[in-house]
Copies of this chain bind each other. A is one copy, B any other.
Amino acid sequence: MTETNTQKCRIAIDAMGGDFAPKHEILGAFAAMKEDNSFDLILIGDKEKILEAAIQENVTIDDKMIYHSSQIIDMHDKPTDAIKNKPDSSLVVGTKLVREKKADAFVSAGNTGAVAAVSTLLMGRLQNVERPTIGSYIPSKNNATFVFDVGAFVDVKPNHLLGYAILGNIFVKELYNIQNPTIGLLSVGEEEEKGNKLVKETSQLLRETNLNFIGNVEGRDILNGKCNIVLCDGFVGNILLKFGESVPGFMKYLLKQHSETSLIEKIKIGLFKNTLKKALSPLNPELYGGVPLLGVNGISIIGHGSSSPLAIKNMIIRAKEMYDKNLLTKFEEALKHYAVKK
């Protein structure tokens, strides 16, 4: 019964969220519809601005696809004040549509903290979820590594990490077709006695489940793809994610520095540029469909403020996949099964 969802999926897009809104949102939405026309799209935002951008970008928008909202939440808005101060913002209106079952998923490249907070407050949490979590795909040697949490909460307890493991397990299993995803607990050494208090207590909890927990993993094990799910608090995960995101830029900087040492090296680097770009393409975060907020009673996908149309398209496709595979019901069943301790 819960295997797949046969109803047509309705995806609400925060058309005013990203740094290049509504342009990238419109282009991304249209690219998604071109790839897969089996879902309905709702563009939330300033109707006039959306239509204006559509004309500029030469795409035709049906008036009925737009759901007008007059306000915009930007990077300076405090996440917790968003609902009270900007009730008619595209973010609040979009998540409300999911809450009221008028949409099945919400996709936004807006203020991450605000999207997470508003989604949690308006969609509510799934039963047995104390803390929702943001998971991020990390390129690795196994092509299916996710880090939970990358920033939803910086101070957590062992049972929160256990909850992330249960949600992440379903997510990776269903979307990456991995039967029994391996789960590692991020620490400073593989040995059980290494780590801080949070790690030691969480390790104990995880061992009591039948999840595929492989024990502590170290910083180097992430890129090496030692496991599918890397568990850590949002403080560590957020720092790691941002560090990782800065790696390609730093490589580029080193190549540029070196190209200035001699003309021959400069020419060589110029000739090699394309090959290098292709080789490092798995590092491109735009391919991974944003970061899902798991544990809320709805599908909520968050993207970088600078999301390109490609990134937006992939976020929409990812949201649809989560809907089609009926992930929310599967999350609930798994949470009930493990009966997360409080």
Contact = CB atoms under 8 A, between A and B. Distances in A.
Given A239-B218, A251-B280, A258-B275, A234 B188 contact: yes
A334 to B, nearest CB: 27
Number of copies: 2
Summarize A's interface: helix, strand, loop or mixed. Answer: helix
Contacts of A238: 188, 218-219
A281 B207 CA distance: 42
Interface string A176-202: 000000000011100000011100000
Contacts of A254: 279-280, 282-283
A44 interface: no
Interface string A214-255: 000011111110000000101110111111111101110111
A257 interface: yes
A84 interface: no
A155 interface: yes
A278 to B, nearest CB: 6
A51 interface: no
A269 interface: yes
Interface in A250-283: 250-251, 253-255, 257-259, 265, 268-269, 271-272, 275-276, 278-280, 282-283
A151 interface: yes
B279 A257 contact: yes
Contacts of A279: 254-255, 257-259, 265, 269
